[in-house]
Amino acid sequence: MVDQRQYGKNLRVGLFAAEPIRLAGLRSILEEMRGLALLEADPDGLAQIDSLDVAVISVTWPEEAMAAIHRLRAAQPHIRTVVMTTECDDESIIAAVSAGAKGYLLDSATPEEVMQAIEIVASGSIWAPRHTLSMMVDRMLAHGSLTPHSAPQFTQRELEVLQLLVSARSNREIAQALGIEVRTVKSYIGRMMKKAGVGNRTALSVHAARNAIVSPGRNF
């Protein structure tokens, strides 16, 4: 049983989870926190709810989290967002914080960690793994920014492919949207990965969103 927490005033928390099992688990945890008003909707729906204090977004991949962060920030900059993903690395977490997230958790987080993250974020601080926070501080001291590398230059067609990639489209979906072959999409992605100095499509999406190369909410 999760320990119940009492807040002096209602804390309005929005919740979205891409998978039903994650939604059920997070709902169970948050409903144990007394004084918390829980509202459920997709990211676009949460962006339309007035006076949300915290938004908890549970998705599978870091680029999906980045897209949700951008949509929420564009609609309501004051919302403090906590994102949860299945996998992430330090660079993904730093990218999410740079984009406006106030908390980052893995799906393996315990109920206690979820509650602590919400409490910390609601109080105005950032929740992330300690070693990642240390990296962020070191990077800011060394470079004055969390993003020390300049953004690469992409062609217009590469930007079109990248836009759809950041929107979590598959290679086949990108090919269909642009009227090109799947192998051509793979070729574009490979070239962009080399330009960005990253090793996979997830890292490319994170790099693009972090450097505002494309907008997650826009389609060509």
The full 3-state SS of 61-72, as one line of letters, equals CHHHHHHHHHHH
For position 203, which CATH number holds?
1.10.10.10
Question: Quick one: 32 and 114 in the same domain?
Answer: yes
Q: What is the pLDDT of residues 48-95, one digit of tens each?
A: 888 899 999 999 888 888 888 888 888 888 889 999 998 778 888 888
What domain range is 33 assigned to? 11-143
Same domain, 40 and 110: yes
124 and 167 housed in the same domain: no
Largest CA distance in the chain: 58
Residues 123-176: pLDDT tens digits? 888 888 877 777 766 665 565 555 544 557 889 899 999 888 877 778 888 999
Angle (CA) 6-68-170 rounded to 5° is: 140
In this structure, which long-range contacts are made by residues 177-182, counting pairs with CB atoms below 8 Å and at least 24 apart in sequence? 177/219, 177/220, 178/220
Bridge partner residues of 105 (DSSP): 84
End-to-end CA gap in the chain: 48
CATH number at residue 122: 3.40.50.2300
With 0.75 as the threshold, say if the pTM is over it: no
- Percent of the chain predicted with pLDDT > 70: 83
Helix (H, G, I), strand (E, B) or coil at 105: strand
Query: Does residue 206 sit in the same domain as residue 104?
Result: no
> Mean pLDDT throughout 5-16?
72
Claim to verify: residue 80 and residue 137 sit in the same structural domain: yes
Residue 148 covered by a domain: no
Same domain, residue pair 112 and 18: yes
Same domain, 107 and 205: no
Q: 73 near 97, Cβ under 8 Å?
A: no
Count of the separate structural domains present in the chain: 2
* Statement to judge: residues 29 and 116 lie in one domain: yes
**Nearby residues of 132 by Cβ (< 8 Å), 6 or more positions away:** 90, 93, 94, 104
97-127 burial string, b = 16+ CB within 10 Å, else e?
bbbbbbbbbebeeebeebbbbbbbbbeeebb
